[in-house]
Amino acid sequence: MDCDLTDRTALITGAGRGMGKKTAKTFARNGADVVINDVDPDVAEETAAEVRDLGVEAVGIAADVSDAAEVQAMVERATEELGPIDVLVNNAGVGDAGPFVDDSYDDTFELNLDVHLYGSLNCTRAVIDGMVERGYGKVVNITSIHTKNGVGMSPAYDVGKYSLLGLTKSLALELGREGVRVNAVAPGWVNTRMTEGFSDDVRQQILDNNPVGRLAEPEDIANAVTFLASPASDYINGHELRVDGGQVPIDSWRLDNR
């Protein structure tokens, strides 16, 4: 299988930690130069330094993906330093959740949509013209297991990820003939900061309903993203690749059981 990313430049949002960081390193091991985006400039540069140690070029750039002007400035700097963006991974995300009837639900919805949907829109808009002009590009959006079965007490998060899946499928139809492939990876429960706060009971409930019997590790997600970013997936377009161990829906589980 050809997952060689040599001579490709990738921009990964939210890549300072967790799944994004592991994806950046996996890309580097497959030959890609990588732009590390994070809202924290120190974290972005620290990760970029680790990626450079793997023998490729990397630059850390801080930007809030929900701010179109910051995204545009990031892409301009990245292009100057590493060249045109061939691969975009819209990984930046937030885990804020809560009940619909909560007084603060408006803020939670706004945050999830700003980061998951509009953040991905901003980044895609900033790179897509160049991809179309060159007749080549890969966009990989990070959705969620929530796009298959909603989980109680997280309507804002669910809406953010469902909207990103809709964007994925629509752009795939529009851009496929332009040489651009748009796909998504839908992680299940992953050992990251988002799941650190889960109680032992909730964690066990997840494991009991997972045929593989464990949470995903960031490298499990990184491997799937690398596949969709590589030539091995050139005939895959508009697809959501679930990386969840075959997770069985937990209809009665609610996020307030953390």
Q: Which residues are catalytic?
A: 157
For the chain, what's the residue count?
A: 258
**What is the Cα 257 distance to its own chain's centre?**
26
Pairwise CA distance, residues 122 & 103, whole Å = 29
| Nearest Cα to Cα of residue 155 among 166, 146, 144, 164 | 146
Helix (H) or strand (E) holding 139, with range, is strand 137-142
Question: DSSP letter string over 17-40?
Answer: SHHHHHHHHHHHHTT-EEEEEESS
Q: What is the SS3 string spanning 165-197?
A: HHHHHHHHHHHHHHCEEEEEEEECCECCHHHHC
- Single-letter amino acid, residue 194: M
What's the distance, CA 242 to chain centroid? 13
Closest to 229 in 3D by CA, of 34, 17, 14, 16: 34
> Do 112 and 156 contact (CB within 8 A), yes or no?
yes
CA trace torsion 235, 133, 71, 226 (10° rounding):
20
Strands 180-187 and 240-243: parallel
